Structure 1
Amino acid sequence: MRRVVVETPYAGDVEKNTHYARLCLHDCLLRNEAPFASHLLYTQESILDDGIPEQRKLGILAGFVWGSVAEATVVYTDYGISSGMKKSIKRAETDGRSVEYRQLFKKDESQSRV
């Protein structure tokens, strides 16, 4: 299995974005990839609070460390690219890691499938 860091939106509609991120992890697994999504792990209750800037920064930095052992960064774009995703894309490019862009849905079905 190929190790990949998964980037999806998180802030805003957290419930919808969490569900979407889980679908993206499922998609990666079906592609024989071992996905890691720091924004799903570190934002869980009693770990880090994404609403506190210092804690958000810690989560981003920890995600960058995991990125250093990944073979690719996979960016799912159905709901756009957030500022946090842009930071991860830039870091992947700086580190020389490939960045792949994917969509789960056709444009007309993005709202009905989530």
Structure 2
Amino acid sequence: MSHESERIAARAAEYLARSREETPVQRREREEWLAADPRHFMAYQRLLQLEEHATGVLDDPELQAITERDLEALQRSRRWRRCAWLVVVLLLLFVGAYAIGAFSTV
């Protein structure tokens, strides 16, 4: 991708990112930019299509269910690790207390 193409793609992304909350002046600026060069319009359209596809994928109920299950599994895993660390700490405290008691009687 050339420097010019990268610049156009970045500008198209900026316009798309703010398009939902743009002011009338910003909208006119975007429309003028799109009309100024066919490459601008093409880059913007590609991003719109990409956004549409991404939204469709993210809204997929199966994907959301999988993500929810993964999140629940991660939370269970974190709880298990927390419990494991607690057991290790308690074991170390017990061993330490035993060692201190054993050495103090010598």
TM range (shorter): under 0.3
Higher helix residue share: 2
Please give the TM-score of this superposition, normalised by the length of structure 2. 0.24
Higher strand residue share: 1
**Greater relative CO (CA pairs within 8 A, separation 6+):** 1
Q: Which has the larger radius of gyration?
A: 2
